[in-house]
Amino acid sequence: MSAKHIADQLAALRNEVRNMQLTQKTHHHELERISTTLENLVDGAEAVAETMSMLDQGLQQVLERVWHAEDRLQVLGEEFEEFRNAYASASAESAGPAGPDGETDVNRVPAKKMRNALQTVVRTCLHELMGITKNTNLPEPLAAGRFWTHDDPNDPDRLLRPRWDEWNENKLVWLREMQVQENHV
């Protein structure tokens, strides 16, 4: 073997080592890129799972509000039906004898009976807003200027806690708020 031949083989080996080092660097960079992409995918999957969990919780809250509203609507419907029956009963009792054309005066409802029926509806609505029944003691009012147990008007657990000693404050704050909500429903 000649010196030239050995020098050529060494040069070829050096080139192969350089090529292998370049290939290794390329593979290393490719592995780092794949590793980063995989980490991003895992982070993204975790974020999606967290978002799905929050959406599920939000959906459950909305469903609870709907169920609560349905329950309240059921109670109010029953109370309205009672009021309508009381009105019809009062109308029938107050109707005078038939006139010459055979009609009775159904518009003559005694004021006291009408007032009692309306008071019953208002009382029942207030009981519902306060979360109590007619046999329950009135709840303690909250601190001055506060009338609701929760600030969020959409919170199904929000209950009215009025101050009975100062009607003007009630009228200015929570009664007006109820009127605004009723107009938006």
> Which class for 147: exposed (0-12), middle (13-18), buried (19 or more C-beta within 10 A)?
buried
Interhelix angle for 3-94 vs 111-130, to 10°?
A: 160
Tokens representing residue 16 in the block? 């192969």
Residue from 162, 182, 158 nearest 173 by CA:
162
**Mean pLDDT across the stretch 104-110?**
53
Question: pTM above 0.85?
Answer: no
Residue from 92, 124, 123 nearest 108 by CA:
92
Cβ-Cβ contacts under 8 Å for 75 (sequence gap 6 or more): 124, 128
pLDDT in tens, 20-77: 998 998 898 999 999 999 999 999 999 999 999 999 998 898 888 888 878 887 888 8
